[in-house]
Structure 1
């Protein structure tokens, strides 16, 4: 089935809106990096929470760069971001966490790491092609 004129126009419009949102995310991330650096500069101290926050921003920028360069987004990138965010939360709030919450956060990090291994194994073991001609299978 070939897309009609309305479908192509809608796809183009959604692509333009998507690119605009990506630009907004990139600019906001860069602004947040500068804010974090200014916070470090004013405090005249670097904490592990600050470093993890900068790594979080770095992963977001890396994800955006990969998406803009290839047009696809591997599911691993949001999983990496999730691990860093959970690790930052664990480090910053360790004094206020009871044993069960600490165990839950650590288990969550472990589960996400295992999910990354499963996704990576599946990608290597069962590669997929985006250019598969689906019409030839019908």
Structure 2
């Protein structure tokens, strides 16, 4: 790898870390705003708790990405499932029958996707190198 490629890779990693920090800080601020709103109203609703779970999932995803430099595909799917559940809880009274079926079907499809991914990881595990880490394809040079 020549110097320009190395510098480009380091620059991309730095930008990546800055953006992840911004996402993390913004999520913590949003959590604070949500808790403040609950305290102000003196009421904790299910929608508020689901929103906090969404924020927690985002923070978990950021932490996993910083630690492994990879984004597990299941995490955004979990976030989507919780977001759709929150949407159902908040808007179920205003939803038509077909909208309810569509959102519920979307949750089912996402859950089946997670199940398929998990099955694939268990049934067809990644090959490991001598250090016990998954092999990368194509190998990095």
TM over 0.5: yes
Cα 1:134–1:63, aligned 2, differ >3 Å: closer, same or farther? closer
Q: How does 1:42-57 map to 2 (within 5 A)?
A: 42-57=40-55
Structure 1: 4+ residue segments shifted above 2 A: 129-135
Structure-2 separation of matches of 1:134 and 1:14 = 20
Deviation track 1:71-92 (CA, whole Å, cap 9, x = no partner) reads: 2221000000000001101110
Q: Given the two structures, how large is their TM-score scaled by the length of structure 1?
A: 0.91
Q: By how many angstroms is 1:59 displaced?
A: 0.6
* Structure 1 alignment gaps of length 5 or more: none
Structure-2 separation of matches of 1:133 and 1:14 = 20
Q: Given the two structures, how large is their TM-score scaled by the length of structure 2?
A: 0.89
Instruction: Find out whether 1:69 has 2:73 as its counterpart.
Output: no
* Structure 2 alignment gaps of length 5 or more: 128-133
* Number of positions where the alignment pairs a residue of Structure 1 with one of Structure 2: 133
Structure-1 separation of matches of 2:30 and 2:114 = 27
Over aligned residue pairs, what C-alpha RMSD do you find?
1.4
